[in-house]
A and B are shown apart, each in its own frame.
Chain A
Amino acid sequence: MSHLLLLVPFLAVVVLNLLPKRARGAALWVSFGVLGLEAAAAFVERFSSIDSSAFAWLESVFGFRLAADHLSGLAMLCAGIVGMVALLVARRTLKDAGEKFFFANLVLVALVGINGIAMVRDLFSLYVFVEVTAIATFILITASRSGAANRDNQVFEGAWKYIILSVIASVLMLTSIGFFLLSAGDITFDAVKGALGAPGSLTWVAMALFLCGLFVKGGLVPFHGWVADAYTAAPAPVSVFMAGIVTKASGIFALLRIVSSTMGSALPGREILLVVGALTIVVGAFLALGQSNMKRMLAYSSVSQMGYIVLALGGDLSLGILAAGLHFFNHAISKSQLFANAAAIEEQLGTLNMDEMGGIGARMPVTAGTTAVATLSIAGLPPLAGFWSKLLIVLALWNAKEYGFAAVAILASLVTLAYFLSLQRRVFFGKTHPKWAHVKEAAPGLLVPVVALALITIALGVGFPFALRVLLGGGA
């Protein structure tokens, strides 16, 4: 069954490209269907145990070594939901039929990459699928011609920074894999775990290099330079897809997988995760505070929230992985919702400069309301979903006796609340400027996904114990 998650999107791409030109309008919906199946597959209990009979022939043809667990299910669920939202946003905001077709195809290619990241069991395959995702994303950023005509250079700059830093990360990861082959003799997660248990400086150099590669891919401080440019330059649906799942899967989820599969509780690299996590939270939050462009603020907010996930991994390991997984899901939902709302605002106002906005809440009440839900959840206010994941992160740090880092996590939440309240005030509150008198609520095509995501955030917060059992099976 795990094979199907790689093969179905791949075959969908092949089929879409064999369709006659007049039938290509269906590409978005075919892609939507595949992503729906992906989200549904995440709910299948004990996913990998249903490999067998019906699909045994696939195993004989493709000798893939894959394994899906609850963490994989989490990544697949996020990819499915965020991908569907991105496609709905693309349907509304991309004007050219060709652009929509290529977007649908590249989302499917990136989806195979994300599924691979979720299910592989060795470092080299992990690297290969991280690259698949990165290259599909690079093309997604550059591909669109929607938006202002003079945006081409900005788009190219954002995409260029992304690919150059991505290549640097790849070099670090490949070097690390070479070192692991020399010191451990193999690169499966089990072999790496064994090697890390034995003394040997080369193994730890290799692990440090691999972690650095993932820090770059995940946009963590000090490797966060590309995030704001890439997210801001990308067209609206690409921003939703990138911020919602791509950066998280190729950097943060891969890190989550490495930590959970290769490092034991006596983790000598724990301090690195704590320091990088705390630094990322604080720097990202303060950079977000100073932004006037809505997408740039959301981008730096993403950087800061990724820091929380890394910080959780440096705490008590079992609780930390659970907290990190939950925050991964919450942030994927809320941030894709916020980028979709930014797309709606840009469509109506033609700008994302918050200094020019004000008072549009009365004109766009649903957008304002759903933005409030997402921002308050990310800031960690009860009873929304973000509160629970941040609480678990603080508890994981507290259990590991990392009181100082727990304090940083709590205090930085106040900064998060500050910049998001500033966003709400500058965009939605106050008297409506006459310039925006003509502004109307976003189209239903954009409202449906953001309302659905807001409902997920509220439902997950209110029904937390039940939702946790469904999402993570009670623990990772």
Chain B
Amino acid sequence: MIWMTLLLVVLVLAALWASMTTALLRAALGLALTSALLAVVMFSMGATLAAVMELSVCAGLISVVLVSVTSLTQRQPLKEILANRRSRLRRYWPLPLVLIAVGVALSFVHAPVEIALRVPTGDGDVRTVLWSLRQLDLFGQILILLAGVFGVLVLFRKEAKHDD
């Protein structure tokens, strides 16, 4: 239980780092770390397939895409970086405090949940659900990936042309 709590604390810190840092590359790494920690939490809760999915897609694939895109961006002048940092600190400094306060407040709430919950239909195995029952959604996901590929092609092409 203690190590799980520690894991969750580190996970929240990594997520905060990802959202607060001014460097895109560090933000991408923060997200990858958050995803990897979440995958560990999922493993420990017995959701093996979900954990594998989280690790491969979020921690792996998305990080690769983010790092690639970051490599295409241009460095800001130092003056702008400093101005942005000051403005960001001014606007967002209460965010971590609010987050911690909300977390602590929620831990004291013991709302009784009295809803008659029913077990979803299907045999519960993710593979069966994905390949047999939800083929249509899988087709939709292939299309989303295809659209994403077009996006990368178009934007990378644009950047290359600008460089010329």
Known contacts A109-B150, A183-B118; A120/B143 CB under 8 A? no
Identify which of residues 114-164 in chain B touch chain A, using a CB-to-CB cut-off of 8 Å.
115-121, 132, 134-137, 139-141, 143-144, 146-148, 150-151, 153-155, 157-158, 161
Give 1 or 0 for each of A275-317: 1 = CB within 8 Å of chain B CB. Answer: 0000000000000000000000000000000000000000000
Give 1 or 0 for each of A114-138: 1 = CB within 8 Å of chain B CB. Answer: 0010001000110011011001101
B150 touching A128, Cβ below 8 Å: no
Identify which of residues 145-202 in chain A touch chain B, using a CB-to-CB cut-off of 8 Å.
145, 181-186, 200-202
B155 touching A142, Cβ below 8 Å: yes
**A452 CB–B CB distance under 8 Å:** no
A129 touching B151, Cβ below 8 Å: no
Residues of A within 8 A of B120 (CB): 181, 185-186
B140 touching A116, Cβ below 8 Å: yes
Smallest CB–CB gap between B72 and chain A, Å? 14
Taken together as a complex, chains A and B put the C-alpha atoms of A293 and B32 apart, in Å, by 43
Taken together as a complex, chains A and B put the C-alpha atoms of A109 and B144 apart, in Å, by 9
A142 touching B154, Cβ below 8 Å: yes
Taken together as a complex, chains A and B put the C-alpha atoms of A106 and B150 apart, in Å, by 8
Contact partner, B143, options A113, A139, A201, Cβ 8 Å = A113
A109 touching B146, Cβ below 8 Å: yes
A182 touching B115, Cβ below 8 Å: yes
Residues of A within 8 A of B153 (CB): 102
Taken together as a complex, chains A and B put the C-alpha atoms of A116 and B137 apart, in Å, by 10
Known contacts A63-B132, A124-B134; A186/B143 CB under 8 A? no
A10 touching B143, Cβ below 8 Å: yes
A106 touching B139, Cβ below 8 Å: no
Smallest CB–CB gap between A1 and chain B, Å? 16
A128 touching B154, Cβ below 8 Å: no
Contact partner, A138, options B117, B136, B151, B157, Cβ 8 Å = B151
Number of interface residues of A (CB under 8 A): 39
**A57 CB–B CB distance under 8 Å:** no
Contact partner, B119, options A65, A138, A139, A185, Cβ 8 Å = A185
B137 touching A135, Cβ below 8 Å: no
A65 touching B136, Cβ below 8 Å: yes
Give 1 or 0 for each of A90-111: 1 = CB within 8 Å of chain B CB. Answer: 0000000010001001100100
Taken together as a complex, chains A and B put the C-alpha atoms of A135 and B144 apart, in Å, by 7
Contact partner, B154, options A6, A139, A181, A183, Cβ 8 Å = A139
Taken together as a complex, chains A and B put the C-alpha atoms of A128 and B148 apart, in Å, by 14
Known contacts A63-B132, A102-B154, A135-B147; A128/B140 CB under 8 A? yes
Taken together as a complex, chains A and B put the C-alpha atoms of A93 and B2 apart, in Å, by 62
Taken together as a complex, chains A and B put the C-alpha atoms of A128 and B137 apart, in Å, by 6
Taken together as a complex, chains A and B put the C-alpha atoms of A125 and B161 apart, in Å, by 38
Q: Which residue of B lies closest to A66 (CB)?
A: B136
Taken together as a complex, chains A and B put the C-alpha atoms of A116 and B143 apart, in Å, by 11
Residues of B within 8 A of A396 (CB): none
Smallest CB–CB gap between A122 and chain B, Å? 9
Residues of A within 8 A of B132 (CB): 63
- Which residues of B approach A to under 8 Å, CB–CB? 115-121, 132, 134-137, 139-141, 143-144, 146-148, 150-151, 153-155, 157-158, 161
User: What are 21 inter-chain pairs, A to B, with CB distance below 8 A?
Assistant: A10-B139, A62-B135, A62-B136, A102-B153, A106-B147, A109-B147, A112-B143, A125-B136, A125-B140, A128-B137, A128-B141, A132-B143, A132-B144, A135-B148, A135-B151, A136-B147, A142-B151, A142-B155, A183-B117, A184-B118, A185-B120
